[in-house]
Amino acid sequence: MQILSDFKQYQSDGRPLILALGNFDGVHLGHQELLSRVTRSAKASGGVPAVLTFREHPQHILHPSSKPPLLASLEHRLFLLAESGIELCFLMSFTPEFSRLDPAVFVRDILAGRLGAREIYLGHNARFGKNREGNADLMRSLSRECGFQFHQLEPVQAFGDTVSSSRIRTLVREGRLEEVELCLGRKFSVFGKVVKGAGRGSKIGFPTANLDVESEIMPPLGVYPVEVRELEIINAKGAPGEAFNGKSGGLWQAGVLNYGYRPTFDENEKKAVPEVYLLDFKGDLYGKTLEIRFYPKLRSEMTFSGVEALKKQIQTDIQRTRQVLGLKQAVSTEG
């Protein structure tokens, strides 16, 4: 997937540009339907499936004091977009100047004029431009004037309500991971890099990988069955003018993840830390990027009387994790 950060960088290769606009935070079922429509149309017309999105969530710039946490890091979002079949990503910086751009000028001069978009897709409640004045009605009117096809998607429903990023954030915070899965069409997951820890896990026989998690939202503190896979990613931060490529590097591995303050060892820990123990695994993960997908929580974080009590509980957590995942060894990447 090619990354461009300036509309002037785009040079048409003669194929029609099929373009979706959106933030795509989480790439949930609604986003997936939008992306599917774009890729299907591009395939049928010999076009280029493309998206226009932003490095920052617009609310992080417009209302920094009340900005929403992100469901997926930029790296995770680009990974999912590329996995969806998108070939070209206009990855723009959302600035105050950009927010003041007249929506009609944006569509007429940039999308239709500079980019020559053949088709433009919007989600059911998308807004854009100055004061969020750009909407489907404006886009529909300008499509007739500028000669492109406009498509607005109907809302996607999950258990009686519209799927949206804000709704999924609430579900994640509340630990309602089965409902999150229904909205995402996959299990909730985060990307994280393995970093150096204190090595306490190794000393008690359960070496853990400490994770620097890229996403801004996590489920509640506690212990979770998880599945983990290594990722191989080129251009993780979306450098303009370069291609973004991401692929998984092998099997999903079963594990137990503790997300918390580790009170048994340090009552003064200031930051909650996710750390994962992989079952049936030997190797060095330091410095590698992992995807961690969550199953519903086993238990809340606890303070133990000592190391032996903690080790006994970890054994129980491992047994329960095996039962939840229904396996004794690493799981297949299929499914």
Tell me what pLDDT residue 107 has.
Answer: 97
In terms of CATH, what superfamily is 2-158? HUPs (3.40.50.620)
Q: Do domains 2-158 and 187-325 have the same CATH topology?
A: no
Residue 198 CA, chain-centre distance (Å), reads: 29
Closest CA to 255 of 202, 198, 329: 329
Residue 115 CA, chain-centre distance (Å), reads: 27
How many other C-beta atoms can be found within 10 angstroms of the C-beta atom of residue 241?
11
82 is written with which tokens? 């590329």
Tell me what pLDDT residue 329 has.
Answer: 46
- Render each residue's pLDDT in the chain as its tens digit; 335 residues: 999 999 999 999 999 999 999 999 999 999 999 999 999 999 999 999 999 999 987 776 666 766 788 999 999 999 999 999 999 999 999 888 888 899 999 999 999 999 999 999 999 888 898 888 899 999 999 999 999 999 999 999 998 899 999 999 999 999 999 999 999 999 999 999 999 876 676 667 788 899 999 777 999 999 999 999 999 999 999 999 999 999 887 789 999 999 998 766 665 667 888 999 999 888 888 999 999 999 999 999 888 878 889 999 999 999 999 999 997 544 444 44
Tell me what pLDDT residue 335 has.
Answer: 42
8 Å CB contact between 7 and 90: yes
For the whole model, what pTM was predicted? 0.91
Tell me what pLDDT residue 334 has.
Answer: 45
CA dihedral sign of residues 250, 255, 261, 262? negative
Spatial CB neighbours of 55, under 8 Å, sequence gap ≥ 6: 74, 91, 92, 93, 94, 238
Residue with tokens 């909730």: 188
Overall CATH class of domain 187-325: mainly beta
Domain ranges of the chain: 2-158, 187-325
Tell me what pLDDT residue 266 has.
Answer: 63
Which pairs with CB-CB distance under 8 Å and at least 24 residues apart come from 155-159?
155/30, 155/124, 155/125, 156/28, 156/29, 156/30, 156/33, 158/29, 158/182, 158/183
Taking each continuous run of H as one helix and of E as one strand, the counts in the chain are 10, 15
